[in-house]
Homo-oligomer: A and B are copies of this chain.
Amino acid sequence: MKIICSKSNLSKGVNIALKAVPSKTTMPILECILIDATANQIKFVTNDMELGIETMVDGTISEKGMIALDAKIFSEIIRKLPDNDVTIQTDDKLNTLITCEKAKFNIPGKSGEDFVYLPMIERDASITLSQFTLKEMIRQTIFSIAVNENNKLMTGELFEIKDNYLKIVSLDGHRIAIRRMELAKDYEDRKIIVPGKTLNEISKILSGEVDDQVTIYFTKNHILFEFDQTLVLSRLIEGEYFRIDQMLSSDYETKLKINKKEFLSCIDRATLLVREGDKKPIIINITDTSMVLTIDSAMGSMDEEIDIVKEGKDILIGFNPKFLIDALRVIDDEEITIYLVNPKAPCFIKDDKGSYTYLILPVNFSQAR
């Protein structure tokens, strides 16, 4: 195989492909990037058996062929080469010569035949949306998936297409995050659970531009993202997702509007008195037109008052400050609306259009104190 590509095209391809290289694996071939130039296009392929990536790299093929190169070394070499044309050439013994200007690297390769190709999937049911939207929807929900693997379902996000809307849901047992948006066309109803890891990686590859599109294909066991010159294929999480509808209620006793930035800064200040792992709640006392936040820990105490606009009853309620911070950080609105029922019922932060809903369970602070 002999190919010539610009350093910048190689860099782009490598950076995308790296996202599906496993950090630990019992199959050393998967630590490689497969360079496939057997047809008329140069493709970089990686696969960690759950997530697979295939991306086209612009360049010239002088001699068709393929080679698998250690992803880490190959990416380091590309990154440090001068900004010029790079030639990648292999010999019969799979030795690979990478040259750029006067620099010559010689590294051993592995046979491309040994590589685990991505499964072919049927491109049947699909939806198309802007890369910006998908990236935002992931960012605004991914923080509330569960970190530990005790409940596999909680490590993924529900993608639900229904009545012409895409709804993304994540939950970890203490909170729920929901983002919803209208689709441009009518699609068939569908429910799948996508691994959180896949969504994290795809977020890093998506351009995030409003004008760039991404098409998502669904099969029974896989999801395929197609955009720019890249395909990202992931297994789905099997099982039935939690029925969240019964947890969402629109009844409330207290409704308040508050400046988001002010609320966030205040909680942020309060939490500096809480050591990591220490489960100190932040106590919120809502009376008339003000909200007083209080925190009390071994390091000291803090309180601060914020102006609000309130409807309904006064309430005293405690929260894990991290859950509030996580939700507030991803909301773009300047002013947010919070709905409360009583000190033991979940609070809701949601907008009128129903484009986002964050449910957070309160903390029983009389005990925690």
A contacts, CB < 8 Å to B: 70, 73, 76-77, 80-82, 102-108, 265-266, 268-269, 272-273, 299-306
Contacts and interface: CB of A to CB of B under 8 A. Distances in A.
Contacts of A103: 266, 269, 302, 304
Contact of A82 (B80, B82, B265, B273): B265
B302 A105 contact: yes
A325 B306 CA distance: 54
B303 A76 contact: no
Given A73-B299, A299-B73, A300-B73, A306 B269 contact: no
A269 B265 CA distance: 44
A300 B103 CA distance: 13
A289 to B, nearest CB: 13
Number of copies: 2
The 10 closest A-B pairs by CB, nearest first: A107-B300, A76-B272, A103-B304, A80-B269, A106-B301, A102-B305, A105-B302, A102-B304, A106-B300, A104-B303
13 contacts: A70-B299, A73-B273, A80-B269, A103-B302, A104-B302, A104-B303, A104-B304, A105-B300, A105-B301, A105-B302, A106-B300, A106-B301, A107-B301
Nearest to A305: B102
Given A102-B304, A104-B302, 11 more contacts: A73-B272, A73-B300, A77-B269, A102-B305, A103-B269, A103-B302, A105-B269, A105-B273, A105-B301, A107-B299, A108-B300
